[in-house]
Amino acid sequence: MNLKKMSGLILALGIATAVPTVASAQSHGKVLVVLSSAHVLDLRDGKTYKTGYYLNELATPLKAIVDAGYTPVFVNPKGDTPSMDENSNNKMFFGGDDAKRQDALKFVDSFNGIKHPMKLATVAAKGTQGYVGLFMPGGHAPMQDLLKDKNLGKILVSFHDSGRPTAIICHGPIALLSTMKDPVAFDKALIADDGASIDNLKQGWPYAGYKVTVFSSAEEKQLEGEGKPLGGQVQFYTDEALAKAGANVQNAAAWQSNVVVDRELVTGQQPFSDHALGDALVAKLNEQASK
SS3 196: helix
Burial class (CB in 10 A: 0-12, 13-18, 19+), 273: buried
Give the count of alpha carbons within 13 A of 106, CB side only.
Answer: 12
pTM to 2 decimals?
A: 0.90
Residue 17 lies in a domain: no
The answer to whether residue 58 sits within a structural domain is yes
Q: Is the model's pLDDT at 70 over the cut of 80?
A: yes
- pLDDT, tens digit, 9 for 90 and up, residues 203-248: 999 999 999 999 999 999 999 999 999 999 999 999 999 999 999 9
Dihedral-angle region of residue 227 (phi above 0 means left; psi in -120 to 50 means alpha; beta otherwise): left
- Which pLDDT does position 4 carry in this prediction? 39
What is the arithmetic mean of pLDDT over 10-32?
53
| Mean local confidence (pLDDT), 4-10 | 41
Note whether residue 1 is domain-resident. no
**CATH code (residue 148):** 3.40.50.880
- The reply to whether 22 falls in a domain is no
Burial tier of 6 (Cβ tally within 10 Å: 0-12, 13-18, 19+): middle
Q: Does residue 173 contact residue 264 with C-beta atoms inside 8 Å?
A: no
Indicate the residue type of 207: Y
Any domain includes 9: no
Per-residue pLDDT, averaged over 87-95, amounts to: 87
- 23-29: average pLDDT: 67
Domain residues for 110? 29-289
pLDDT tens-place string over residues 37-49 = 999 999 999 999 9
Indicate the number of domains in the chain: 1
The DSSP-derived string for 172-189 is: GGGGGGGGSSSHHHHHHH
Question: What does the pLDDT look like over 114-163, one tens digit per residue?
Answer: 999 999 999 999 999 999 999 999 999 999 999 999 999 999 999 999 99
**Mean pLDDT to the nearest integer, 184-202:** 98
Distance of CA 148 to the CA centre of its chain: 14
Tell me whether residue 12 is in a domain: no
Residue 283 phi, psi dihedral angles, 5° rounding: -60, -40
Q: Are strands 265-268 and 166-169 parallel, antiparallel or unpaired?
A: parallel
User: Which pLDDT score is estimated for 14?
Assistant: 33
Closest Cα partner for 30 from 60, 80, 69?
69
| Dihedral sign computed on CA atoms, order 213, 89, 136, 239 | positive
Could you give the CA distance from residue 136 to residue 54 in angstroms, rounded to a whole number? 11
Residue 8 in any domain: the answer is: no
Residue 2 lies in a domain: no
